[in-house]
Copies of this chain bind each other. A is one copy, B any other.
Amino acid sequence: MTEHRALENIVVLDMTRVVAGPFCGAMLGDLGATVIKIEVPGRGDDARAYGPYINEESLYYSNLNRNKHGVTLNLKSEKGKELFLRLVKKADIVIENFRPGVMERLGLGYDELKKVNPQIIYGEISGFGSYGPYRDRPGYDIIAQAMGGLMSVTGQAGNPPTRVGSAIGDILGGLNLSIGVLAAINERNITGEGQKVDISLVDCVVASLEQAVQRYIVSEEVPKRIGNSYQSIAPYDTYQAADGYVVIGCGNQKMYEKLCNEILKKPELTEDERFLTIPLRVKNQAQMKEYIEAWTSKQSVNEIVETLLGKGIPSSPIFDLKDIINDEHISRAREMIVHSHHPVMGDIILNGNPVKMTASKTDIRKASPTLGEDNSEVYGGFLGLSDKEIKELYRDGVI
């Protein structure tokens, strides 16, 4: 079977910056799309200024812009707009994460683009979305985590609201935008027309809150920070082991009974009226935890995990980055840590793509571009401009 990828037929113009939009472009690229990243001449994506660095190139940028062809383009110049519209004619998807209204003010909003290409799918991502009272507010991941409610429910009890330690609002935004544009591709196959997909980081975070929304309405109590426990399942928490913390989760009655009978050797707990059902165990989880820690605190994390997995009870250690990068399963078997090579940085490692497909490859084929690296290939090869024309574009500051 020849090697192929799921989105080989798709051309994406990626005008995004920082994390959320670039993550979407990288996802589509990993899945095989031809992604052309468009940056401001001389400056580029803000994320080129974010560490960590190697040889003065941003590895931060590199992870989010692998599998992209990089061009520069000044969209404020008439010639730049014209070139952009020529690219739009040959593309399937445009993604951008300017503040709402920026593309319209450039004369390059979706309504203009669909005039030159009615099939174009336009994906935009912003802090608050393209409509609604807050549409003009600037948005970053930390703002989405804050206003989307995630910080209010993350953290140890009594602690301040806590930011998730990665740009999870941006990641959620990039994933939801990927879903939106792929759904629009499906619909385009039926209607023959593109459309606009409008993603707000805050919306994405709110959607990720799952049961916290329902809990507030039912209980009329605002969900608070409760450490590592969960308001819908117990036992389901971290527990003190002799050498650290261990995770144990019993999501159904069978697992819970096995834990009591075969591990804690306390069959009476399965008939204890404080713990009869999942909601009762959630309510009385502090007492439940005492029984469990009486057992876990005397053993190492590894011993506990091995014992519990042997009985089919979900359990795990807590990994840090070193553990992950050296892990046989995560890093190697699942290829979630990918060794790559960058022309300026040399050997680097990137995060793997979690979408594994049996017939299509999801892989990293190209390092992130240096600023304007692929100008000749894209403007020459893809758009068919002559060397002379490309030289003039450089001279005039268009690219």
Question: Is A63 at the interface (CB under 8 A from chain B)?
Answer: yes
Question: Is A330 at the interface (CB under 8 A from chain B)?
Answer: yes
For the complex of A and B, 6 pairs with smallest distance between CB atoms: A153-B165, A132-B333, A195-B359, A203-B354, A182-B182, A6-B183
Instruction: Give the A interface residue count (CB, 8 A).
Output: 159
Among A350-372, those with CB < 8 Å from B are: 350-360
Copy tally for this chain in the complex stands at 2
Contact A247 B186 (CB under 8 A): no
Stretch at the interface among A76-84, A217-225, A267-275, A289-297: A217-225
Residue in B137, B195, B252, B355 whose CB lies within 8 Å of A357: B195
Contact B176 A150 (CB under 8 A): no
Complex Cα spacing A278 to B50, Å = 7
A152 neighbours in B (Cβ, 8 Å): 165, 318-321
A-B contact pairs, 14 of them (CB 8 A): A7-B186, A49-B253, A49-B277, A51-B278, A62-B214, A128-B329, A146-B318, A150-B164, A153-B166, A161-B245, A182-B182, A203-B354, A213-B324, A213-B350
Question: Is A384 at the interface (CB under 8 A from chain B)?
Answer: no
Complex Cα spacing A9 to B282, Å = 41
Contact A53 B218 (CB under 8 A): yes
A46 neighbours in B (Cβ, 8 Å): 251-252
Residue in B236, B251, B309, B318 whose CB lies within 8 Å of A151: B318
A231 neighbours in B (Cβ, 8 Å): 51
| With A132-B329, A175-B176 as contacts: A207 and B353 at CB distance below 8 Å | yes
Contact A183 B31 (CB under 8 A): yes
Contact B147 A154 (CB under 8 A): no
Point out which of A5, A63, A134, A210 has the most chain B C-beta atoms below 10 A from its C-beta.
A210
Complex Cα spacing A195 to B277, Å = 40
A163 neighbours in B (Cβ, 8 Å): 154, 227-230, 238
Contact A195 B358 (CB under 8 A): yes
A149 neighbours in B (Cβ, 8 Å): 319-321, 323-324
Contact A147 B317 (CB under 8 A): yes
| With A140-B314, A190-B9 as contacts: A59 and B151 at CB distance below 8 Å | no
Question: Is A64 at the interface (CB under 8 A from chain B)?
Answer: yes
Among A328-359, those with CB < 8 Å from B are: 328-330, 333-334, 336-337, 348-359
Contact B187 A360 (CB under 8 A): yes
Instruction: Return the chain B residue nearest A139 by Cβ.
Output: B314
Question: Is A381 at the interface (CB under 8 A from chain B)?
Answer: no
Residue in B5, B277, B316 whose CB lies within 8 Å of A147: B316
Question: Is A117 at the interface (CB under 8 A from chain B)?
Answer: no
Residue in B193, B249, B324 whose CB lies within 8 Å of A206: B324
